[in-house]
Structure 1
Amino acid sequence: MITMDPHALESMLTEAARRGAEQAIQDLTCYTKEQACQMLGISYGTLQRRISEKKIRVVDGRIPGDSIRKYLSEHVRNR
């Protein structure tokens, strides 16, 4: 069993909730293709290929943050 000071536990849980909320907002944000290229570190042509390969999802001409995060986690090492 691990024991923890109640104040430290509360602080840790508050920080986890804050980070979770930030991630949720980023996942819901939609970015332009130019912004997505910059975030992913790829060219516009490469982005278009990844979209046609269904590796990156597009919604109404924009790239959702969760699609960027998923692509990075699956295709980019040590970032």
Structure 2
Amino acid sequence: MKVLVTVMPKAGVLDPQGKAIGHALAGLGFEGLGEVRAGKVIELELAETDPARARAAAEAMARKLLANTVIESFRVEVA
């Protein structure tokens, strides 16, 4: 079963990568940009067949390794 874990900086946490991307896009002529935030998406292929158990496993993985829960939030999607 495929599971996607999206990790983003929490609101109020500085995001230098997002700022750099926003600055570069503005330099390329893209106008009207608001705040740009950069995160990551981790795609997991799990042997689990039960969606609830797959979600629980991915959430445990995110809390223990994939996200720094002090400064990042995460979202799990079972595909």
User: Shorter-chain-normalised TM-score: which range?
Assistant: under 0.3
Higher helix share: 1
Structure ID, larger Rg: 1
Q: Which has the higher contact order (CA 8 A, sep 6+)?
A: 2
TM-score normalised over the length of structure 1: 0.23
Question: Please, what TM-score do these two structures have when normalized by structure 2?
Answer: 0.23
Structure (1 or 2) with the greater strand fraction: 2
